[in-house]
Structure 1
């Protein structure tokens, strides 16, 4: 098992607001500037992809020098930096694609080498069910091997495939009916995605950015490229928009940075579906040392199990005992990407509010990574299961949770996800189920996750040694703290009656066990004498 650790907080901040009440001239200027800089970005990306692995700082300087007369030195720097980041992202995606192909080839090769119908083991899959399936998978193996060879050749040559505007939108051009778009709507969305209106910040400059500048009172001004300076309505080749912007989220923090002339990066973009303009401000934040694990677990922990449609959470005390009732925070992952992101954000907001009311300072989650679990060859005909794990936003959930929890002072503890659902259901689902509460498998998994974060074993009790299976040995418990002496010993017997009306150790004769006529007590073995009859009879 991998050790649990406290996840680090975010390294940057991004906030967004809408550009309301834009004048017609403002929109015209934004479209012209975005289209002009977008064409330069396309040319620069083509040049960067052509350089491949032979790229160097000198070639970067040459590209920037060629773009400067057509825009400005700062616009050229932003374009070349964005191009470099896009090429690096494409390289990382290419490596991930190669690893997925290799995993598929290994699985197919192993299963094809086994006899048809052979059952698999716990650690490896078996053979295919029929000759027909074996033949189809053998053909797919050849396809994957060809794709793998082509991907490896591209990586060795430094060749990447990048589509400015997005591959999904490019393919939608050939399936407009399925995408629900007309040809004109597609062209507007395609042009908007290929525009470039982003500028990096500079500390020490006025309001933290010389290219796209937003003053503390919300005035937005843009430094126009050299060929478009005739569109300026302010001195020094700048264009000032007629609208004013305000940031509702982190607005005070943004205003403090702008007033102190600290670097803030801006990006202007058009949502073609809604026909609305937005501005996104982003900046880096200093890294804060993570809280030690013991300090984060001082007040207990809340274990969280992520599922396809909800988050299952349960609070655990400092000794690993589940307290209270489980909570579930539902979300809907259907629809557009914006809708799914909003659903995840709202579910995490409700979770963090509940954590704050409980007084707990830590949340335990699984360190999930379904990179090797999504392959078609690993799960075979289990299409619904593959769609289930592919639809779980594990990366987005981690990023959202670490960012939102950092603002509330709550630590996020990542644990090894191995067997949490299976062992949680085995050891905790039945004991936590009562006549008034139905404990699900996911609730039990949340308890297992929280106990693993605390360093406790998931098992509720440690079984006695095999040589002692009678009542003489008694049960041993591991529910006490790890440093408590006698933690592994037998539970002490509490004197008193075992009834619902009188609690143990609280009866009138709780301290005198001989006064209670039970089997095996000393009162049963005393000599018996009959009293003499009264004389009045």
Structure 2
């Protein structure tokens, strides 16, 4: 309805201006923030809105400042990692090759000179960021820094200035309210009835637009929640806290209402109880999740499963694709009766810089497109409601050892096991505490097998058993001594060969002595 849209625009613009002003005050306070300053900010906003709107605005400002501080700390870590890498590579001779553990020198003097200049730039950025962090100063853009940068590239974004202005203003609106348990329908500011009727408590300057009692405005349209609608209805009917946020998509011309709530802390169960019915190992890749079910002894059972997703497009589309794949994974685990899912504890924050991987642009784009942190957080929150335990394991050598010890034995003429499927087995076995590397049959000396059973595996209590096997010099068979190569080179051959040639041999004179 045009009237509803007009009221929402006015309320969002008014509250957005108050939120911008309060965020500026909160950022200026820095480390001087306290409960007294928080209460003073809330008292200043209450006459211009309401006590509940003022509480929501001040809480959102504080959360935004804390989020900026966490991003600032991550930025410092990335700069320090880049400086360490460049300093190491500059200390090496030009053209020196690197190893698996550390990169080598730069390819040319020109690249060495360019990286030396970049080192000074990164050091200046690090010093500036550290000064801001020590003083409590953060840099926040309400509406998004990416959208702000689009203002200088309207032709590339195919936007007119008026269209950009409308999108910028819509992103800076504020229409969000926290829930309150015990209040009617769990929220007094933005109230949604079980039938889908939405009513908003208008700010004091906009009280003249109210069409209901106590300064409220009832929207004519009705809302519904296809996702977890039953759970939302149960909370609303029980007057439990539900937070709401109203957003406007300027490109589609649609209004959206988002509901959210918190779950009580889940009781932690022992690891042995979670692994009693086996585990599902999941290996994350750029376009799918490879999963395989393992019994409690660490043996793969059944067929491997693959849950595909597409991480191209907008952030909402990527999040929906990831949520759909994780929903399928959790549903499969529930039907199998497994109460534990093992995933890798991946973190590529220090791996995405060009200083570490150099010109491997495709590889940097590959690891940047893997939402490891979002997948772990999303999987943990979704598994909390299904009673499934999430186990994060060390990702070291899972793909390599999985392909080495599990890919070929599990490949048959009707089933082709991929490297990712084998990695999921390695992840599951590591979560269970079993070794990843499989046993190898001993070389038979005779029928009684006097050599006994040999394994490439160490005992579970042996330190360093998850490390690579040491390279033993010499031949790989027991029929030859380890120093056979050196002995073969020094000994004299006893084989007499008849060498036939067309050349004419001439014997020289002999010196005869007494």
TM-score category, normalised to shorter length: 0.7 to 0.9
Bigger Cα displacement from structure 2, 322-331 vs 376-385: 322-331
Runs of 4+ in 1 over 4 A off after TM superposition: 462-465, 476-479
Is residue 2:325 matched to residue 1:329?
Answer: no
5 Å-filtered alignment, 1:452-471, equals: 452-461=430-439, 471=449
Partner of 2:18: 40
Tell me the equivalent position of 2:450.
472
After superposing the two structures, state which structure 1 stretch, 321-330 or 373-382, moved more.
321-330
CA distance in 1, matches of 2:181, 2:321: 36
**Normalising by the residue count of structure 1, what TM-score does the alignment of the two structures yield?**
0.81
Kindly indicate whether residue 334 of structure 2 is the aligned counterpart of residue 356 of structure 1: yes
Inter-partner Cα distance in structure 1 for 2:196 and 2:18: 29
More deviation, 159-168/199-208: 199-208
Normalising by structure 2, what TM-score? 0.85
Q: 1:419 aligns with which of 380, 397, 404?
A: 397
What are the within-5 Å matches in structure 2 for residues 196-345 of structure 1? 196-345=174-323
Question: Which residue number in structure 1 is paired with residue 359 of structure 2?
Answer: 381
Report the CA distance between 1:477 and its aligned residue: 6.5
Question: Partners of 1:401 and 1:71 in 2: how far apart?
Answer: 38
Whole-Å Cα distance in 1 between the matches of residues 54 and 174 of structure 2? 11
Deviations 1:359-392 (A, max 9, x none): 3222111011111111211111111111100000
Q: State the alpha-carbon separation in 2 of the partners of residues 101 and 273 from structure 1.
A: 36
* Cα shift readout 1:125-175 (whole Å, capped 9, x = no counterpart): 221122122111111101101111111111112111100000011111111
How far off its partner does 1:116 sit? 1.4
Name the counterpart of 1:450: 428
1:50 matches 2:28: yes
Render the CA deviation track for 1:29-67: whole Å, top value 9, x for unaligned: 000000000001111111111112222222212211111
**SS of corresponding position for 2:351:** coil
Give distance in 2, aligned partners of 1:206 and 1:341: 32
After superposition, give the CA deviation of every residue in 1:177-207 in whole Å (9 maximum; x if it has no partner): 3223232222221111100011112222222
**What does residue 56 of structure 2 align with?**
78
2:305 & 2:189 partners in 1: Cα distance? 48
Q: 1:434 aligns with which of 412, 419, 423?
A: 412
Q: Which moved more, 1:231-240 or 1:408-417?
A: 408-417
CA distance in 1, matches of 2:148, 2:403: 46
2:127 to 129, 149, 155: 149
Instruction: Give the distance between the partners of 1:434 and 1:251, measured in 2 at CA.
Output: 45
- Asked if the contact 2:442–2:455 (Cα under 8 Å) also holds between the matched residues in 1, the reply is no
Q: Deviations over 1:446-493 (max 9, x none)?
A: 11001101100001016879x99x9422435799x989xxxxxxxxxx
- 133 and 471 in structure 1: CA distance in 2 versus 1, 3 angstrom threshold: farther
Query: What SS does structure 1 have at the residue aligned with 2:213?
Result: coil
Q: Counterpart in 2 of 1:393?
A: 371
Partners of 1:240 and 1:112 in 2: how far apart? 66
The alpha-carbon deviation at position 250 of structure 1 amounts to 2.5
Alignment of 1:3-42 (within 5 A): 23-42=1-20
Count of equivalent residues: 458
Q: Distance in 1 between matches of 2:390 and 2:378?
A: 11
Question: CA–CA distance in 2 between the matches of 1:204 and 1:354?
Answer: 37
- Going from structure 1 to structure 2, the CA distance change for 1:463 and 1:155 (only over 3 Å counts) comes to farther
Q: Give deviations 1:57-80, integer Å, cap 9, x for gaps.
A: 222122111111111111111111
| 2:117 equivalent in structure 1 | 139
**Alpha-carbon distance in structure 2 between the residues aligned to 1:207 and 1:350:** 32
1:125 aligns with 2:103: yes
Instruction: Structure 1: state its 5+ residue gaps.
Output: 1-22, 484-537
Structure-2 separation of matches of 1:51 and 1:74: 22
Matched, 1:69 2:47: yes
Q: SS state of the match for residue 345, structure 1?
A: helix
Higher relative contact order (CA 8 A, sep 6+): 1
The partner residue of 1:100 within 62, 78, 92 is 78
SS at match of 2:416: coil
Note the aligned Cα RMSD (angstroms): 2.3
Query: CA 1:120–1:457 in structure 2 vs 1: closer, same or farther (change >3 Å)?
Result: same
Once the two structures are superposed, residues 202-259 of structure 1 have per-residue CA deviations (whole angstroms, 9 ceiling, x without a partner) of 2222222211111222221111111111111111111111122222333233223222
- Give the 3-state SS of the residue equivalent to 2:261 in structure 1: strand
* Distance (Å, rounded) in 2 between the aligned partners of 1:149 and 1:478: 50
1:113 maps to 91
Give the Cα separation in 1 of the matches to 2:262 and 2:293. 34
Do 2:435 and 2:460's aligned partners in 1 also have CA atoms closer than 8 Å? no
Distance in 2 (CA, whole Å) between partners of 1:143 and 1:124 is 23
Structure 1 pair 205–185 and aligned structure 2 pair: CA distance change class (3 A): same
Q: State the secondary structure of the residue aligned to 1:170.
A: helix
Q: 1:530 corresponds to which residue?
A: none
2:137 to 119, 142, 159: 159
Identify the residue that residue 502 of structure 1 maps to in structure 2: none
CA contact (8 A) 2:143 2:171 kept: yes
User: How far is the alpha carbon of 1:435 from its aligned partner?
Assistant: 2.6
**Structure 2: runs of 5 or more not aligned:** 462-514
